[in-house]
Amino acid sequence: MSDTTPPGGATPPPPPGYGPASYGSAPGQGVDVVEAFKWGWKKFTENVSPILLAILGYVVAIAVVVVIWYVILAAVFLKTSDDIVIHDDGTVSMGSGPNFLAVLFVGALTTLVAVLLVSIMQAGFVQGALRLARGEALTPDAFFKFKNLPGVVLTSLLVAILTAVGCALFYLPGIAAALFLQFTLYYAIDRGLGPVDAVKASFELVKNNLATAGLTFLGLIVANAVGSLACGIGALVALPVGLLAQAYVYRRLTHEPVAA
């Protein structure tokens, strides 16, 4: 056998290491989705008071803002006339109601505001779930204080638009969009990515871990469906538990530790 040691007895240096890890994990490194939901339930029961108080706070705030917004828009655009007009031929006509296009306009603006507020609520609970996954205390500001609120809102709107466009194309593309973009907000909040980069990162993560991401997505659908059966009250549990489970899967797939 020939001696492969170079002159001088020096050992050749090891090959250079790989570059920095990408946002998506390598294929085939699955996560126990059942364990994710068990962890989500555990963290929910340990922090039930601040979570439910945050839900109540958001729901009340959203309802108040939407009602005030609608009243203002209605006063401006949905004016009606109560005048009674007697025509020369003896016929009588009552005042006219609001224009149909005005009704649509007010409805669209009200819906837009509601979507914006709900997106902020979702982002708040994603942020809270990430804090618990990192082992941080769930302080009151966990759900309401953001480092980059405009970026988070734009990210939520981009996901909503892509999903809505997909649903308009015979619905199935919308389901696919929701599946592949399910971790977008986590990237935006956890790593501070912009809307487009967060969308790309979520797509890559799901693509590389399709089975795990698919089971997580299915679990969220089942949890929300079960939660809606109890007159919507179950959603108070299903929503936070689902987001906590999603945070668990996100952290595991991106090779980050999850607090016990």
- Would 82 be classed as within a structural domain? yes
Average pLDDT, the chain: 84
Q: With 70 as the cut, is the pLDDT of residue 219 above it? A: yes
pLDDT at 78: 79
- Would 24 be classed as within a structural domain? no
User: In which domain, by residue range, is 203 found?
Assistant: 48-133+140-253
Burial (0-12, 13-18, 19+ Cβ within 10 Å), 91: exposed
- Would 194 be classed as within a structural domain? yes
Closest by alpha carbon to 205, among 256, 149, 131, 150?
256
Q: With 90 as the cut, is the pLDDT of residue 250 above it? A: yes
- pLDDT band at 4; cut points 50, 70, 90: very low
Classify residue 90 by its DSSP letter. Answer: S
pLDDT at 76: 84
Q: According to the per-residue pLDDT averaged within each range, which of 8-17, 26-35, 132-141 is highest?
A: 132-141
Average pLDDT over residues 6-20: 44
- pLDDT band at 26; cut points 50, 70, 90: very low
CA–CA distance, 12 with 43 (Å, rounded to integer)? 50
Domain count within the chain: 1
pLDDT in tens, 78-94: 776 455 556 666 565 55
